[in-house]
Amino acid sequence: MPTHTEQSAVTVLGLGPMGRALVSAFLAAGVRTTVWNRTPGRDKELVEQGAISAASAEEAVSASPLTVVCVVNYDASDAVLRRDAVTDALKGRTVANLSADTPDRARDTARWAQEHGVRYLDGAIMTPVATIGTPHGVFLHSGPADLYEEHRPVLDALGGTHTHLGEDTGRAAAYDVSLLDIFWTAMTGYMHALAIAKAEGISAQELAPFAAGIGAILPAIFEASAAEVDNGTYSGEDNPITSTASTMSHVIHTSESHGIDAGVMRAAEGLVRRVIDEDHGNDGATRIVELLGRR
């Protein structure tokens, strides 16, 4: 952890739960932190912790060489950054946009920044609020490497792991959406599993330890599947996709026997059936990646 002096300064725009957590972490690390939020009044506790409250976004960005943006999405960050007074105040300064959105929106914002003399880094936060300022936070960054290195001491004040993924500004968002794909399909699967379990008289807390067991086997499967996908092997030796189709159908039938919508699993089973219909029934589920990747 670098030593922060009074010369370290950052502005944070957006004081939702994540923005507030970022501000607290910067303050705890001794970084002079100026804050602004669209709806006034959200900075009260932060000011008590030592944050400087700005009356406007333009006043806020003028206070620091680096502005971290953490709002709901890029419609929101555009609404803040692309106002003339704010854009003018940002000329020659750096924005690190840690709001979540798509790779295309990140690249579009980088183009806008270049046209307006704003130095731009994009990023994504992969872990919940409680991890910020602890070793458990995970931050992804993309954009010019020299700009990232320049601001790294301040960004590192947020704690956790910071990874610069490359010069393509959209790369952090590309990792973010890929990882959110895993998270939200898994969480939707878990919610659906709890609904089936409940219909079968099993409480959520009774199932939870076994659900955690399923979670624990995933990392090794992720690694092995990634190697298969990169090598194009799609081996079904231990678990052919015909067997996957069978177990998926058990979920669908049990779900629908209780009148529970099985749409998510039906979508997954549909992909598996397409692989089997294409004569790849002896392959593993990784063959789905090849199917989906065809354009």
Residue 156 near residue 2, CB atoms below 8 Å: yes
Residue 10 near residue 66, CB atoms below 8 Å: yes
Measured distance CA(4)–CA(2) in Å, rounded: 6
Cβ closer to ligand NDP: 9 or 15?
15
- Which range binds ligand NDP by CB under 6 A, 11-19, 58-66, 82-90, 195-203? 11-19
Question: Which member of 8, 34, 37, 109 binds ligand NDP (CB under 6 A)?
Answer: 37
Question: Which member of 10, 12, 18, 121 binds ligand NDP (CB under 6 A)?
Answer: 18
Cβ closer to ligand NDP: 143 or 240?
143
Question: Which member of 9, 10, 12, 15 binds ligand NDP (CB under 6 A)?
Answer: 15
Measured distance CA(11)–CA(69) in Å, rounded: 8
Per-residue tokens: 129 = 């609020």
- Tell me: does residue 17 bind ligand NDP (CB under 6 A): yes
Site mask for ligand NDP (CB under 6 A), range 48-87, x = bound: ----------------------xxxx--x--xx-------
- Tell me: does residue 106 bind ligand NDP (CB under 6 A): no
Site for ligand NDP in 211-250 (CB under 6 A): none
**What strands lie across the sheet with 32-36, from one edge to the other?**
52-53, 32-36, 9-13, 66-69, 94-97, 119-125, 138-142, 161-164
Q: How many residues does the chain have?
A: 295
Which residues are CB-contacts of 4 (< 8 A; sequence separation ≥ 6)?
Answer: 29, 30, 31, 153, 154, 157
Contact residues toward ligand NDP (CB under 6 A) are 14-19, 37-39, 42, 70-73, 76, 79-80, 99-100, 125, 128-129
